[in-house]
Amino acid sequence: MVVAVPMATLGQSLSWPLSKLQPVSVPLQVPGLDLGLGTLEIGLRTIQILPAATEGQLALRVRFALTSRGRAITAIDLDATVVPQILPQANAVRLSLRAQDLVRVRPSLPVAERARFSAFLRAQLPAGAEALLGRGGLDVAAEKVLADLVERSFPAVRDQLLARVGTLVDVEIELPPVPLQRIVLRSPGQDLELWLHTTLPAAPLAPGPARVAGSDARLVQVRMSGSAAAELANQGIARGQIPARYDESGEPSPTGEFEAGVAWRSGSRPLRIHAWKQQPVCARVEFAGTPTLSAARGELSLAVPDAKIEKVTGAAKARVAFWFSGLGRQTFAFSQAIAGATQFDLLGVDYDATPMQAATVGDDLFIDLSLAPSPRTPARKP
């Protein structure tokens, strides 16, 4: 299975508390001119998570805003590459960026930001002062001011700001409780992708991108093979998370004569439900159908419009519609629970994941999840 987390969602959640930090003031001085031009304020504004070319890594951009009397002037970026901790045994991925990780990172100023700063500086100079700047005039002066700010003043400012924060980025993603063999982290586009290789005896995902084409790119998506969903359901039956016994109508019953299991067979009617009993007479029934998944009000709904009995061995009177409404519903409710078990902790704030959309696509199924701060966890104060 694969979990695709929008980088923009992570960045927005991480940026909000940092933007509340109080800025640090620095004097605004133009080389060659003895003018009192006041001060600039430098503050943390955003953290952006970016794609990284190397598997297992993520790129981070920390943006500092320069303001004057509350008006935005320009921005300074710090770029860093980090290697998240991948913990298959703990079903977790941890991404952190500490203040000390940025000490040796050189700030950069985008070209557009340099132009904005030159325009701001021109507005601050008194009449006739620009003529005193010599060859190159204002643009050269602006470059010198920025160079001085970046190379001399900025490291001290950065350290003052970061000293108040400690850990800039702290993200923990608790993955679904499935037996994991390894986790592969990729970031080729707009998503942080976590490819989960399980020890389940299940078929892999269909080849292709992590996210299903046409799905809502703003939501977290969990995609798994139908075969994996079936094996997870069988594990749930073995552990008592899904009822193991059913009556002849397919309804869960601790005294039911039938035991049941789930399988996924590629092709038409891929969802297979096997029911069997040994008392008072032996019987076995195989049901087949094409599941149609949907999500409403945070819960999954299952329909199997083409359900049919494929095979009957021995004496059995199980009605297919009831069996699909019984074990079928239990199976996909368990798939929802597996997807919903994906938890997010961002800077000490827990986020709940709610199913918003679900569907089967070929031999895979996907569930889209929206994130919202959990009411159980108080927001971290900046």
Q: How far apart are CA 326 and CA 314, in angstroms?
A: 22
Count of all residues that appear for the chain in the document = 382
C-alpha–C-alpha distance, residues 60 and 81, integer Å:
6
Whether residue 312 contacts residue 287, with contact meaning beta carbons closer than 8 Å, is answered with no
- Per the CB < 8 A criterion, the answer to whether 184 and 55 are in contact is yes
Distance CA 298, CA 294 (A): 10
pLDDT of residue 47: 86
CB 260 within 8 A of CB 273: yes
Q: Which two tokens stand for residue 112?
A: 């557009």
Tokens read off for 95: 């991404």
Identity of residue 166: G
Token pair, residue 92, equals 């977790």
Which tens digits make up the pLDDT trace of 219-228? 999 999 999 9
Q: Tokens representing 329?
A: 């519903």
Q: What angle do CA 309, 311, 314 make, to 5 degrees?
A: 115
Q: What pLDDT does residue 310 have?
A: 86
Please tell me the predicted confidence (pLDDT) of residue 382: 36
Residues 6+ apart with CB under 8 A from 133: 30, 32, 33, 140, 141
| Tokens describing residue 30 | 């133009």
Closest to 30 in 3D by CA, of 156, 138, 109, 153 = 138
Nearest to 223 by CA among 256, 261, 195, 252: 195
Task: Please give the pLDDT value at position 345.
Answer: 74
Q: What is the pLDDT of residue 322?
A: 61
- Residue 72 and residue 82: Cα distance in Å, rounded? 29
90: tokens are 């703990």
Secondary structure (DSSP) of 71-124:
EEEEEEEEEEEE--EEEGGGTEEEEEEEGGGGTTPPPB--HHHHHHHHHHHHHH
Widest distance between CA atoms in the chain: 105
Q: Which residue has the tokens 């920025």?
A: 146
Residue 186's beta-bridge partner residues? 193
- Determine whether 225 is exposed, middle or buried from the number of CB atoms within 10 Å of its CB (0-12, 13-18, 19+): buried
Amino acid at 250: G
CA-angle at 7, arms to 222 and 366, nearest 5°: 15
pLDDT at 380: 44
pLDDT at 68: 84
Burial class (CB in 10 A: 0-12, 13-18, 19+), 135: exposed
- 47 forms beta bridges with 62
Structure tokens at 72: 């935005």
Q: Which residues fall within 8 angstroms of residue 340, CB to CB, at 6 or more apart?
A: 353, 354, 355, 369
Tokens of 25: 């003031």
Q: How far apart are CA 37 and CA 299, in angstroms?
A: 60
pLDDT by residue, tens only, the chain of 382 residues: 999 999 998 888 778 777 777 888 887 777 666 666 778 888 888 888 988 888 998 888 888 888 888 788 888 888 888 888 898 988 889 888 776 676 556 667 777 777 888 888 877 777 666 666 655 567 777 777 777 777 777 677 777 777 666 677 788 888 888 889 999 999 988 999 999 999 999 999 988 899 998 889 999 999 999 999 889 888 888 888 888 888 877 788 888 888 988 899 999 999 998 889 888 888 888 888 898 888 877 777 777 888 888 888 887 666 666 666 666 667 666 666 666 666 767 666 787 788 888 899 889 999 898 888 877 654 444 3
Q: Are the C-beta atoms of residues 42 and 65 closer than 8 Å to each other?
A: yes
